[in-house]
Structure 1
Amino acid sequence: MESFLNWEYMPLIPPLITLILVVITRRVGISLGAGIITSAFVIANGHFGEFFKLLFDSFLGIFIEDGGLNTWNAYILIFLTLLGIMTAFMNMSGGARAFTNWALTKVKTRRGAGFMTAVLGIIVFIDDYFSALIVGQVAKPITDKYNISRAKLAYFVDTTASPVAVMSPVSSWGAGIMGMTAPILIGAGMTHISPFQSFMYMIPMNFYVISALVMMFIVISFKLDIGPMKKQEDLAINEGILRDKVPEFAEQDEDLPVHDGAGASALIIPIAGLAVGVIGAMYVTGAMEAGTWSLMPVLESTLVTHSLLTGGIIGLVLALFYYFRHTRNDNEFSKRHVWLGIKTGFFAMFPAMLILTFAWMIGGLISELGTGGVLGSMVENSSLPVALLPAVVFIVGCFMALATGTSWGSYGILIPVAGEIIIALGATELLLPSIAAVLAGGVFGDHCSPISDSTILSSTGSGSDHIVHVMTQLPYALTSALIGLLGFVVLGYTANVYFGLLSVIIGLLVVYIIAKFIYRPVAKQNA
């Protein structure tokens, strides 16, 4: 007991308390609040004056950084507000209803609705935040029509947000990872490999992401509903209840008036304008920061949140244009409905913004605690065989991202740590596999952490209760992680990516066989 209370292990306690409370209470706000208080108390070493100062500073730090506005956090909150208002006006203009009616002529089954959502998530690869919010908003009317639970929609959205972004070289993630990898390649004497080449080499080594994506398509194809997801899907199919718990991120627009006679363009064009605005702004801001129009430097320097804000403004302007165009001669609409749309859109996103604020607070405090450093030192001090290093850093990356709620925080700590260990041991053949394992572990932890911003936004975009989403996704993520772990063990011992991939394929085949020949779903409707 005495050794556990040693300061060396104290940074692990606050995130552990938060995760335990989330599982027990299923209330993310209360759990995050407890984690924030515990973290501040530990950092303050029990001094109440310092404790209250830390709480105030952690809240203030969300909005003010180095004496100026913290644009990253502030712009995300503004973007959420814009998206909520934009959605309300697209609903009132009749665009959402028209799009649903049009899409239903193309999508004929529940399985088709699932595939449409998954493919859309893969196509929208430029940024995980953007994907998490937009895919859910676009797919929700279709999945609702086929009684796909909001929890399953959130699972589809989350499984294609971070995983696709982390495997795409032309994404905000890809450029950042290349920037982290470049100095390690130089330190290892691997100057013959460019950061871009190393990223491409690591794509087939990201076994968790590959497993999670294939698992999602198995779930869609064979309705592999297990654990808490089975309950959500049975309620949706048999009783028409898309969510059995009022979500913290519930839509507030059910009572808004809807104009009849609009076309699907009233939804498609604002969404397209938002997407083009975000992508265009990412390129322009990246070019301005990098001083060049070359693609990779641009992606490495792009201002993601500035781009989200720009796209959000464009999307809202277009949504308002179609709203006024279609409702100006509709006697059911008046000036008060403009205010109603703004108010409804804001309050629809307010719970998500509140939870994000809590998540950022605890993230900053956990960073100050040094939780990531403690977990990173476990890898450095490990006396396990060198061949197991990819598997070890994958496991530590999983726990680090789970505890801190950020895959990027894990990358910033573990990628250099893994590089140092590999260089010191002279096992450069395991350098890229180990970095790939860090990337995979970060995505897994991000998927399963209730304080992960991308997971919160996936719940928001899908209209799912956040904790229900986390708990229903967990069995699939854990299964994919075990398959990925097997791949990293094989890769470590063989130093051959094809053998690692083969082991992952075998693991997925076992899941496929269970889904097709052993598992039998109880409920079926319009498969």
Structure 2
Amino acid sequence: MDNPSILSLLPPLIALAMIIATRKVLLSLGAGIIIGAFILSEWSIPGALSIIWSNFAGIFVTDGAINNWEFYIILFLLLLGVMAAMISFSGGSHAFGEWALQRVKTRVGAQLITLFLGILVFIDDYFNSLTVGQVSRPLTDRHHVSRAKLAYIVDTAAAPICVIAPLSSWGAYIITVIADVLDSHSVTEYGGLQAFIYMIPMNFYALTALLFVFLVIVWKLDFGPMRIHEERAVKEHHVIDPSRSGMIETEVTKVDESQGKLRDLIVPILVLILTTVVSMIVTGAAAADTVTPLSVFAETDVASSLLYGGIAGLIVSVFLTLAKRPTMASMWETTRLGIGTMLPAIYILIFAWLIVAIIDELGTGMYLANYIDGSIPLFLLPGLLFLLAGFMAFSTGTSWGTFSILLPIAGEIAATLDITMMLPMLAAVLAGSILGDHCSPISDTTILSSTGAGSHHIDHVMTQLPYALITAGSALAGYIILGLTGSTSLGLVSTMTLAVIIALLLKMMIKPITASV
């Protein structure tokens, strides 16, 4: 819409309110999609149906060709589901669980390894969320860590590490946007990459989120809805809520698990990772005008690379499974079940893409951005931009869309009021976007973290929210201090100190969960 109105807020607010009230994700997203389509069509039923259909069809075909983003992501999820089922069927998951159980003796250790893997796999958030969840699941299941807790660890590592890593799909994209902002305001003392590196310690939310999840693991800070899931996992050994539908645990008929080898899990995952990374480099180098590490990751085709990696990983897992001499009937059944485990996530993802597309047409992000003006005290602007970016990403379900709208606006404000505040304001937008991404049930990263961990999506959203809000409060205090003092170090230390103090208070208040005798 050329002139977005307050009605543009209606679809995301209705969807989010219904999700909280009913905990039925598809129904809630569907309501938001319908309301948004009616607003766009000026309350015409045929017009609304046409808008919904065109956006749905666009997920699969765009400009007369196959959509090599959303559709490829769907294909990758299906391939990953079948690959995971083959690994389980062949006994690979069991073998990995036995191997890890001998080396990782505690629940804390299992969670820390998951966090370490999440930090290590910084190339892309989709890749991170799905791969780390799949690899860690056999280990955390053996130590009775709830899937909701696993999803929180995976999600908290994925976006924060990607947004502060220059050589990631996120970092490369952000650097190009920042370079344009700096160039448009004739800022020449640093380029896009140098500015990005300067901004890493200013991203208070991302850095503190990583610190806080570490403290949550080592101090066993299970509170709010998360405690219910962890108590069930520890005391009843149910890592997911058995009474809920959605992300279904499908028990496949396995070959003799004694035939399972560690390589049955490790080799397909390594092939998946290596093929994806190589594909990202090749596709990025082919598209870049000048081949440099930054240009390669700025131009890389993430979705195609994931698809190639998924195909390679599945082929290897099938060959390793065939070596066990299973029946063809059992192979087909495993394939069917593998596809079935991914369908709930795919349905949610499609609905999320639809509502994000409609929200984009309504101009929700631009409507929110218009509230920033020069009448606000300068020292409050980093904190305000942090909150606005958080609410925008939460409402629209896209951190990248928030980057594209708010980074230029933040740059314009800084250039007009105080050019020395340019980087802190840009960093506040990045931090707020990650906050909103973490909290939003319509964020694709949140959905894929649920999928990778094998968690019910709404359980992941509700259990992660209190942890994200605590980190957000700490970061907001840091941005206010940064605005008052102009000191990045003081702002970061204040943020992390406040987060540690809150964690210590929780540690004194919360009794660790112990298994029933």
TM range (shorter): over 0.9
Partner of 1:474: 465
Shift of 1:259: 4.0
The SS at the match of 1:378 is coil
The SS at the match of 2:103 is coil
CA contact under 8 A between 2:208 and 2:471: conserved in structure 1? yes
Shift of 1:522: 4.9
The SS at the match of 2:371 is helix
Partner of 1:363: 356
Matched, 1:521 2:514: no
Partner of 2:308: 310
370, 377, 382: which one aligns with 2:370: 377
Partner of 1:217: 214
Of 139-148 and 288-297, the range deviating more from structure 2: 288-297
What is the alpha-carbon distance in structure 2 between the residues aligned to residue 294 and residue 410 of structure 1?
27
Listed as ranges, the gaps of 5+ residues in structure 1 are 1-5
What is the alpha-carbon distance in structure 2 between the residues aligned to residue 304 and residue 47 of structure 1?
38
CA contact under 8 A between 1:94 and 1:261: conserved in structure 2? yes
Matched, 1:300 2:291: no
Matches within 5 A, 1:72-471: 72-244=69-241, 245-257=243-255, 259-325=257-323, 327-328=324-325, 333-379=326-372, 381=373, 383-425=375-417, 427-471=418-462
Letter in 2 for 1:274: L
Shift of 1:258: 5.1
The SS at the match of 1:241 is coil
Partner of 1:499: 490
Would the alpha carbon gap of residues 258 and 309 (structure 1) be closer, same or farther in structure 2, given more than 3 Å must change? Answer: farther
Matches within 5 A, 1:54-69: 54-69=51-66
Alignment deviations for residues 265-318 of structure 1 (CA, whole Å, 9 cap, x no partner): 110010001000110000000000004432111111000001001111111111
What is the alpha-carbon distance in structure 2 between the residues aligned to residue 29 and residue 179 of structure 1?
35
What is the alpha-carbon distance in structure 2 between the residues aligned to residue 90 and residue 421 of structure 1?
53
CA contact under 8 A between 1:247 and 1:466: conserved in structure 2? no
3, 8, 24: which one aligns with 2:5: 8
What is the alpha-carbon distance in structure 2 between the residues aligned to residue 111 and residue 69 of structure 1?
44
Shift of 1:189: 2.6
What is the alpha-carbon distance in structure 1 between the residues aligned to residue 114 and residue 107 of structure 2?
11
What is the alpha-carbon distance in structure 2 between the residues aligned to residue 25 and residue 53 of structure 1?
28
User: TM-score of the superposition, structure 2-length normalised?
Assistant: 0.97
The SS at the match of 2:450 is helix
The SS at the match of 2:26 is helix
What is the alpha-carbon distance in structure 2 between the residues aligned to residue 239 and residue 401 of structure 1?
37
Identity, % of aligned positions? 45
CA contact under 8 A between 2:94 and 2:257: conserved in structure 1? no
What is the alpha-carbon distance in structure 2 between the residues aligned to residue 247 and residue 124 of structure 1?
30
Of 260-269 and 441-450, the range deviating more from structure 2: 260-269
What is the alpha-carbon distance in structure 2 between the residues aligned to residue 67 and residue 521 of structure 1?
59
Letter in 2 for 1:372: G
Segments ≥4 residues shifted beyond 6 Å: none
Shift of 1:48: 1.6
Partner of 1:21: 18
What is the alpha-carbon distance in structure 2 between the residues aligned to residue 142 and residue 481 of structure 1?
30
Listed as ranges, the gaps of 5+ residues in structure 2 are none
What is the alpha-carbon distance in structure 2 between the residues aligned to residue 148 and residue 247 of structure 1?
20
What is the alpha-carbon distance in structure 2 between the residues aligned to residue 217 and residue 305 of structure 1?
30
CA contact under 8 A between 1:449 and 1:455: conserved in structure 2? yes
CA contact under 8 A between 1:187 and 1:423: conserved in structure 2? no
User: TM-score of the superposition, structure 1-length normalised?
Assistant: 0.95
CA contact under 8 A between 1:165 and 1:171: conserved in structure 2? yes
What is the alpha-carbon distance in structure 1 between the residues aligned to residue 512 and residue 284 of structure 2?
51
What is the alpha-carbon distance in structure 1 between the residues aligned to residue 396 and residue 46 of structure 2?
25
CA contact under 8 A between 1:92 and 1:258: conserved in structure 2? no
Letter in 2 for 1:289: A
What is the alpha-carbon distance in structure 1 between the residues aligned to residue 195 and residue 404 of structure 2?
17
Alignment deviations for residues 149-188 of structure 1 (CA, whole Å, 9 cap, x no partner): 1100000010011111111011000000001000111233
The SS at the match of 1:524 is coil
How many residues are aligned here? 513
Letter in 1 for 2:480: V
Shift of 1:70: 1.2
Would the alpha carbon gap of residues 486 and 247 (structure 1) be closer, same or farther in structure 2, given more than 3 Å must change? Answer: farther
Letter in 2 for 1:504: T
Shift of 1:411: 0.5
What is the alpha-carbon distance in structure 2 between the residues aligned to residue 142 and residue 310 of structure 1?
27
What is the root-mean-square deviation in Å for CA atoms of aligned residues?
Answer: 1.5
Partner of 2:479: 488
Matched, 1:36 2:29: no
Would the alpha carbon gap of residues 255 and 34 (structure 1) be closer, same or farther in structure 2, given more than 3 Å must change? Answer: farther
What is the alpha-carbon distance in structure 2 between the residues aligned to residue 458 and residue 321 of structure 1?
28
What is the alpha-carbon distance in structure 2 between the residues aligned to residue 143 and residue 508 of structure 1?
26
CA contact under 8 A between 2:162 and 2:171: conserved in structure 1? yes
What is the alpha-carbon distance in structure 1 between the residues aligned to residue 419 and residue 444 of structure 2?
34
What is the alpha-carbon distance in structure 2 between the residues aligned to residue 430 and residue 524 of structure 1?
49
